[in-house]
Amino acid sequence: MPEASAATDAKEIHKLFRLMAKYGASDIHLKAGAPPIFRIRGDLRSLDLPPLSDTQVRRLVYEILTEEQIRTLEQVGDVDLAYSVDERTRLRINTFHQRGCLSLSGRLVNFRIPTFDELHLPPATMEQIAALDQGFVIVAGVTGSGKSTTLAAMVEYINTTRRLHVVTIEDPIEYVYMDRRCIINQREIGIDVPSFKNALRYVVRQDPDVILLGEMRDMETVQAGITAAETGHLVFGTLHTSTVPQTFSRLLEFFDTERHKQVRLSLQFNLKAIVCQKLLPSVKPGVSRIPALEIMIVNPAIAKLIEQAEDVRLLDVIKNSRAEGMIDFNRSLYELIKQGYVDEKVALETATSPQALRGMLEGVFVTEGALTGGIRASAEM
């Protein structure tokens, strides 16, 4: 569906869209019986305005729709569109019927892409991953954990340091890139291409060096990512998983059991990194949220564990490979506490092993030894 465009600045809804940028809102919600609502730093906040009626919502929404979009909305019940107020204010919008009334959800598309430092991601490790020539990289986390922003920072790092062709397949587009050293083509599901399946069918024919798949929702998408990595491309994708072991298990779950050996062989050679993250509230002034991270970079030890189906030992290698840029969630939380970013209570509630994290805070570090096969405890000053 073509992108709608603002022909005049007289539209009332433009004032709300511009307020989003002013207040740092990522999303807007309009529905009958409630005032306009913004999502700011992850929290929903109502504007200090009277509740909207269904008539008011319809008037606001209809003034940004084309006649074709209005017909689709009335016939189907919802419609997707991209809408530009001006060259710096663009939204991805879905408007839909609920309980006989009209509602709108819109996400502000970002033009400024934060750096690794601004996101409090480890620059050396992230740059190492973004500098890969080939392979499969997964960024994982629950909804709202910052996966898209982390991927955008990696793509933008590539954009400023390398001369490559990047193709993204996204639903929706959340960041708009400006060509710097790279050529970047962004395809949005439902607007530029009808489905991930259609986009994936032709992406390798578009001469890409880097492919960003967005969310991997099914076996076809994962297989396409692995195949593209096997044929020499650098492929980024996201999964809704919380930890490295869970992410690796989820990759396998997309395939029938009889294919697991073949998939393991492909991942052994082509999976390069898994970055899992959780966004936590920060207690440090000037920092609203901070990521806790679990990072696995595939080295010979991890590749061997993948081949031997010893996935339960992946965390052992991660814990013993800090010098290679790897980290587990408990160690990440420990460092965030020590650096004054995260409250200890919040960290313990988030930890994969609260008991182990509590021990670390008391000076005892327990490592499930990947090399010895045993468990050892040591005091670390």
Q: According to the model, what pLDDT value does residue 10 have? A: 65
Domains of the chain: 4-109 (3.30.450.90), 123-352 (3.40.50.300)
**pLDDT band per the 50, 70, 90 thresholds, residue 9:** low
**pLDDT band per the 50, 70, 90 thresholds, residue 377:** very low
Element (H, E) at 239: strand 234-239
The identity of residue 148, as a single letter, is S
Choice among 5-19, 42-56, 149-163 with the minimum mean pLDDT: 5-19
Dist. CA 59–CA 75, nearest whole Å = 18
Concatenated DSSP letters of 297-323: E--HHHHHHHHTT-GGGHHHHHHT-GG
Mean pLDDT of 1-25: 73
Dist. CA 348–CA 324, nearest whole Å = 26
Q: How many CB atoms lie within 10 A of CB 15?
A: 12
Percent of the chain with pLDDT over 90: 75
Per-residue pLDDT for 374 more than 70? no
Q: According to the model, what pLDDT value does residue 380 have? A: 46
Q: What is the pLDDT of residues 293-323, one digit of tens each?
A: 999 999 999 999 999 999 989 999 999 999 9
Q: What is the pLDDT of residues 124-174, one digit of tens each?
A: 999 999 999 999 999 999 988 999 999 999 999 999 999 999 999 998 788
Q: What is the pLDDT of residues 204-239, one digit of tens each?
A: 999 999 999 988 989 999 999 999 999 999 999 999
Percent of the chain with pLDDT over 70: 93
What are the start-end ranges of the E strands in 48-100?
Answer: 78-86, 89-98
Dist. CA 167–CA 183, nearest whole Å = 8
- φ, ψ for residue 287, nearest 5 deg: -120, 115
Q: Which residue has the higher pLDDT, 379 or 92?
A: 92
Q: According to the model, what pLDDT value does residue 366 have? A: 55
Per-residue pLDDT for 262 more than 50? yes
Nearest to 235 by CA among 196, 208, 205, 198: 208
Q: Which residue has the higher pLDDT, 176 or 256?
A: 256
Q: Which residue has the higher pLDDT, 198 or 185?
A: 185
Q: What single-letter DSSP state applies at residue 327?
A: B
Please give the biggest Cα pair distance in the chain: 70
Mean pLDDT of 183-212: 91
Q: How many CB atoms lie within 10 A of CB 252?
A: 16
- Spell out a b/e string for 298-335, using b for 16 or more CB atoms within 10 Å of the CB, else e: beebbeebbeeeebebbbbbbbbbeebbbbbbbbbbbe
The identity of residue 380, as a single letter, is E
Cβ within 8 Å of residue 44, ≥6 positions away: 29, 37, 38
Dist. CA 156–CA 168, nearest whole Å = 12
Q: According to the model, what pLDDT value does residue 376 have? A: 41
Q: According to the model, what pLDDT value does residue 11 have? A: 86
